[in-house]
Amino acid sequence: MTVEQSDDTLRAPETIVIAIDGPAGAGKSTVGRALAARLELEYLDTGAMYRAMTFAALRRGVVEGDFDEVAAMAPTVDIDIDHDRVVVDGVDATVDIRGREVTEAVSQIAANPGVRAVLVERQREWVGRHGGGVVEGRDIGSVVFPDANLKLYITASPRVRAERRVREIGGNVDEVEASIIERDRRDSSRDHSPLTEADDAVVVDTTGLSIDGVIEHILRLLP
Ligand code: DC
C-alpha cells in the first residue's frame, strides 16, 4: 500500500448476488438470463451442475441410487460451465444434460448430501471468481447465498409450467403436468436442502405475466 492510495481504491467493488429459486418450468432461467443481461452480471444455472453430475454418474456406470458411490464420485467430477456450454470430464455434455436419461435420474443425484456439499462449494467459488452474479437453483437463497442482495422465489401454476414446457419441447400437456407435480413433490420432500422459499425471498408468480412485466417488477425490487 502506498500513502497516495485512498481508502476508496482499497475497497473491493461490491459483489452483487441475486438468488433465484423456484420449481421447474416457472420461468427462472428466462427471468435470470434477462435480469443478468440488464444488470451486466454473469448468470449461473446451478441445475446444470446437478445435471452434469448425473451425466458423469451415467457415463461412469455409477448407480444413481448408490449413496456412498455417488458421494465418493462427486469431488472427482470436473465440471466446466462457460455460458451455455457444459463440459464434464472433458466431454461436451451441453445437449445430453437436457436429455431424458439425465432428466429422469437427476432428482436422485441432487438428493445426495455428498453431491450437494461439493456443488454448493463450487457455486460459491464460481460467484467469487466472477465477482457476483445471478444464480438460479432450488436452495440458492436458503443455503448457498443466505446473504444475497435480492432473493426471488419464482413460481407459476403447474398447468402453466406444463404448457410452457410443451411449447418448448413438445409432449402431452396432461402428462407433462403430472410429471411436474411429481418432480415438485420429490424436490420439496427430500431431506437435504428441499426446495423451499427463503423467509426473506420475494415471491413472484409468473402465471399470466409477460417476461417484460416480470423483469420490470423485479428491477423495482432491487435495493
Ligand atoms: O433446474 P433443473 O431442472 O435443470 O434442475 C435439475 C435438478 O437439479 C432438479 O431435480 C432440481 C435439482 N437442483 C437442486 O436440487 N438444487 C439446485 N440448486 C438446482 C437444481
Residues 25/136, Cβ–Cβ less than 8 Å: no
pLDDT for res 13: 61
Query: Whose grid coordinates read 465477482?
Result: 131
Confidence of residue 193 (pLDDT cuts 50, 70, 90): confident
* pLDDT tens by residue, 144-171: 999 999 999 999 999 999 998 898 888 9
Query: Which is it for strands 132-137 and 85-88: parallel, antiparallel or unpaired?
Result: unpaired
Mutate to test the pocket of ligand 1, among 31, 49, 50 (most ligand atoms within 8 A of CB): 50
* pLDDT tens by residue, 67-105: 999 999 999 999 999 888 999 999 999 999 999 899 889
Ligand 1 proximity of 136 Cβ (cutoff 6 Å): no
Average pLDDT over residues 55-65: 94
Confidence of residue 12 (pLDDT cuts 50, 70, 90): low
How far apart CA 106 and CA 79 sit, in angstroms, is 15
Sheet holding 79-82, edge to edge: 79-82, 85-88, 91-92
- The domains of the chain, with CATH numbers, are 8-219 (3.40.50.300)
Confidence of residue 127 (pLDDT cuts 50, 70, 90): very high
Going from the C-alpha of 149 to that of each of 15, 38, 42, 133, 134, the distances in angstroms are 9, 16, 15, 10, 10
Confidence of residue 117 (pLDDT cuts 50, 70, 90): very high
Mutate to test the pocket of ligand 1, among 46, 96, 123, 179 (most ligand atoms within 8 A of CB): 46
Provide the whole-model pTM: 0.88
How far apart CA 210 and CA 25 sit, in angstroms, is 15
Ligand 1 proximity of 179 Cβ (cutoff 6 Å): no
